[in-house]
Amino acid sequence: MIFLNLPVSDVAASRAFYTALGFPVNEQFSDASSTSIVVSDAISLQLLSHERFTGFLPEGTATADPRAATAALYALSCDSREEVDQMVEKAVGAGGGTWTPAQDHGFMYGSSFTDPDGHVWEVMWMDPSNVQ
């Protein structure tokens, strides 16, 4: 399993954003300072207030601002080109932003968005007949 911990400026707003994309919340691991978002059976996002996130870092370690610099690109696969476009539309409609224009390579199609804190998400579809 992958557990991705992301610092967020507003836990409630981030919860609303990710649930608007269709992801459920695991209430067992959620409270006022963090929300656990279930992306799949193998992937969970832990959206942590900056204060809570900093508590996991060695003393003196700064928390990066994803709006100022891109440290990572998180990628999710979709089942179709339409699902890629729908996810980006949902993200922008829920308060996220666009990041790069869609890219169509024939056998692979992708687009991207940012969440309200600037974390970059790439969503892509690949024609299964081209995957070996």
pLDDT in tens, 101-113: 999 999 999 999 9
In the prediction, which pLDDT does 131 show? 72
Please state at what angle helix 11-20 crosses helix 81-93, rounded to 10 degrees. 150
What pTM value is reported for the model? 0.92
Burial 79-109 (b: 16+ CB within 10 A, else e): eebeebbebbeebeebebeebeeeeeeeeeb
- Architecture of the domain spanning 2-54: Roll (3.10)
pLDDT in tens, 78-108: 999 999 999 999 999 999 999 999 999 999 9
Fold of the domain spanning 73-130:
2,3-Dihydroxybiphenyl 1,2-Dioxygenase; domain 1 (3.10.180)
Domain boundaries, given as residue ranges, for the chain: 2-54, 73-130
Furthest-apart CA atoms within the chain: distance in Å: 49
pLDDT in tens, 40-76: 999 999 999 999 999 999 999 999 999 999 989 999 9
